[in-house]
Structure 1
Amino acid sequence: MHLSRLVWVVACASALALLAGCAATPPTLGIGPRTHAVTTTDKRPLQSDAAVDDLIDAERPGCSAAVGIRGEVVWAGATGIADLTTGEPVTTQTRFDMASVSKQFTATAILMLQRDGALTLADPISAYVDGLPSWGRSVTLDQLMHHTSRVPDYWTVLDRDGIGFSDPADHARILNAIRRLTTLETDAGYSYSNSNYVLLAEVVARVSGQPLPEFLADRIFTPLGLDMELSPGLVAADVALSYDADDQFQPPGWTAYGAIGIFTTPSELVRWGDQYRAGDIIQDDFAVGASDEGTGEFYAAGMDIEADGDLNHNGRFGGYTSTFTVSADRETTIAVMCNGHAADRFGLADALWVIWAPPEEVAP
């Protein structure tokens, strides 16, 4: 059984008029699963609706997705269940933890502070975080940002201590777990670790005098008018619950921030994505020092630069999964967020990419 649909069509004179600023903010008619903001002759919104219906099970934990062009939301859709107990549906207004897609905001905060002259990426992490092992004197902020620090993931310590994913472990406890990582990984080069971004969150707090959630709200979310909130483990009426691959409720107990924990909708995320095209918060230093992943891709400031020039980052935290892509020309952004580990986020993202990506980026 499919969810009832809310379809909003804004008739612009042409696609060019849309790109020039034709209004793309839907009227407040409700929170249905479909939003269209292109010409009535454009078939892409209906094709996107069909992709959601074909790929996401409406009776299981679901997904919400959005497409943005030059910062305007041109399509949004959703289906599935946000709360299996109540039957509350996923809508385009449902919020999710974007999981590791959050990392770009932590990295951006660090770069903003470097522009302020408050730190440099060459600084050792020990200058800002007390109580670290000896590696704290040699590991730099640059290495943390680009995942070349070799600091192991804190998940290994929590697992060793028998602290399951749904067991409580707040930011302070996880930071202390990182302090107990006495040795670095042996292989040099790129090695993805959530510990890196928990440490960077502490740098922001030490330098700015504000915890990372407050810094992001004051310096990024509010100035850009983004409805985003860094609050790991957030429980609210409009937040989808997290479910594992068997549709069992999987509440996250680990609430460290920096690596994960920003709650929002795909529509808000694709609005943010326009910063990579024309923003003043994202600047050229975004790609400075990007590390080679050995696949023709590079890890920049919390985002992958793919071989074809696209930007991408994926996220998974319990049942919350996400994927976020910005086209190589920085014109088009696509975001998918789901609340079920089994939901096909990549299939939906790929389908939307074929529909919406610039023609030169779609393989024949």
Structure 2
Amino acid sequence: MRIPASLLAGTLAGLFALGGCAATGPATPASIDTLMRDYSGDVPGAVVLVLRDGQPLVRRGYGLADMDAGTPATPGTNFRLASVSKQFTAAAIVLLAQDGKLSLDDPVRKWLPSLPASADPITLRHLLTHGSGLIDYEDLMAPDATEQVHDIDVLHMLEKEDRLYFEPGTSYRYSNGAYALLALIVGKASGQDFATFVRERIFKPLGMDNTVAYEKGISTVSNRAYGHSLVDGKWVRTDQSSTSAVLGDGGIYSSIDDLAKWDAALYDDRLLSDAMRSDAFSVQNPIHDEVDVDGYGYGWRIHGETMWHSGETMGFRNVIVRWPQEHFTVIVLTNRNDPEPYRLAMKIADLYR
């Protein structure tokens, strides 16, 4: 269902006019602040967005985006999304399928022929749904690796591994490497590099002007949050790791203001067709051993009528949880190593649902 233009305009106006909470029912600004108290003050912070029918019920920042500079976290602060990025990588592949540039049932070796023979049965759909059986590239790196790897380096690592965890399509194993390969395939199928494609086909059309697939020395992140970790009782900056430059599995930076525009686009066909959204937002690969997950779609975990994804990386923990049938969404982005905020997002949702 397309959100009417008048409602969308009101949504965007509300996003920039609303600085705190406009609560309904039992929720109050104080109740949100109580839940977020650990993120308040001179500590690594968080931002919270709660949307109903496209309207912000909560749009709020807590704590600091940059402890060194004392910069506060605000709704316009851009956080490294980590694995929340996967929904954009998946959308890029789906867009190319809609364009007729590729098929989700293409063998991965059609696009990346340097992969070993063991990858013959793997399709793009297997990559999207974590059903490929690929070896985890993180386990192929030296434990003390400090030099950053990129998506192409992931391919080179997997070229040497003529083995899989399981026959493709028969099981589920979360694979960051699969999404690094998907980013490379976006480049090959589109004739553009991944960062350019998502900027031109997703971010610009939606007005996500400050969202970027970040490449050091090539692009910049405005209003940037820096990651932190608690070490011996003190917060220290831990913003980058050896895997932070891999784009397809987690390299996108965005803000809750931009993610509100992304959320709105997931209700209609301005990017993805009704059929493709139905596939992306439904169980394509069942998951039997995880809590609050029935299976994986294309870049989304699915649990009943809920779709969500978390993102965990060096110095950042994030989550987006959507209830599409209710037109209700909660997003929490944080620039600290702990805790993972899924349960916090669910508590926030309970105040409004």
Range of TM-score over shorter length: 0.7 to 0.9
Distance 1:156 1:27 in 2: 42
1:25 is matched with 13
Partner residue, 2:51: 68
Cα separation, 2, equivalents of 1:48 and 1:76? 14
Q: Measured at CA, do residues 344 and 251 of structure 1 come closer, stay the same or move farther in structure 2, by a change above 3 Å?
A: closer
Change in 2 beyond 3 A, CA 1:159/1:349: farther
3-state secondary structure, aligned to 1:138:
coil
Q: TM-score, normalised by structure 1?
A: 0.82
> What does residue 112 of structure 1 align with?
95
User: Residues of 1 paired with 2:11 and 2:253: CA distance?
Assistant: 26
Is the partner of 2:236 in helix, strand or coil? coil
Per-residue CA deviations over 1:189-241 (Å, capped at 9, x if unaligned) read 01101011011111111111011111111111111111311115676461111
- Give the distance between the partners of 2:320 and 2:190, measured in 1 at CA: 28
Alignment of 1:181-260 (within 5 A): 181-186=161-166, 188-227=170-209, 228-231=211-214, 236=221, 238-246=223-231, 247-252=235-240, 253-254=242-243, 255-260=245-250
SS of 2:309's equivalent in the other structure is strand
How much identity, in percent, do the aligned residues show?
24
Q: Deviations over 1:161-191 (max 9, x none)?
A: x314xx3223332331232332111474011
Over 3 Å counting, the alpha-carbon distance change for 1:62 and 1:104 in structure 2 is: same
Q: Does 1:273 find its partner at 2:269?
A: no
**Partner residue, 2:308:** 312
Bigger Cα displacement from structure 2, 103-112 vs 263-272? 263-272
Q: What CA deviation, in whole Å up to 9, does each residue of 1:39-60 have, x standing for no partner? A: 8x77745146424543424222
Corresponding residue for 2:342?
A: 346
3-state DSSP of counterpart to 2:237: coil
Say if 1:23 and 1:153 are closer, same or farther in 2 by CA, change over 3 A. Answer: closer
Kindly report the root-mean-square deviation, in angstroms, between the aligned alpha carbons of the 2 structures. Answer: 2.7
Which aligned pairs between 1:59-98 and structure 2 lie closer than 5 A? Answer: 59-98=42-81
* Alignment correspondent of 1:15: none
- Secondary structure of the equivalent of 1:123? coil
Aligned-pair distance for 1:297?
A: 0.9
Where does the alignment leave 5 or more consecutive residues of structure 1 unmatched? 1-17, 358-364
Partner amino acid, structure 1, of 2:205: P
Q: Does 1:301 align with 2:290?
A: no
CA gap 1:222/1:53 in 2 versus in 1, 3 angstroms: same
Pair 257,209 (structure 1): closer, same or farther in 2 beyond 3 Å: same
- Compared with structure 1, are the counterparts of its residues 330 and 217 closer, same or farther at alpha carbon in structure 2 (3 Å cutoff)? farther
Partner residue in 2 for 1:170 = 150
Q: How does 1:136-147 map to 2 (within 5 A)?
A: 136-147=119-130
Task: State the distance in 1 between where 2:92 and 2:8 align.
Answer: 30
- Alignment partners' CA distance in 2, 1:179 and 1:120: 22
* Structure 1 residue 129 displacement after superposition: 1.2
Q: How many residues align?
A: 331
**What secondary structure, in the 3-state scheme, does the structure 2 residue paired with 1:356 have?**
coil
SS of the equivalent of 1:244 reads strand
- Contact residue 26 and residue 37 of structure 1 kept, 8 A: no
Name the stretch that deviates more: 58-67 or 47-56: 47-56
Please, which moves more after superposition, 147-156 or 66-75? Answer: 66-75
Matches of 1:175 and 1:336, distance apart in 2? 32
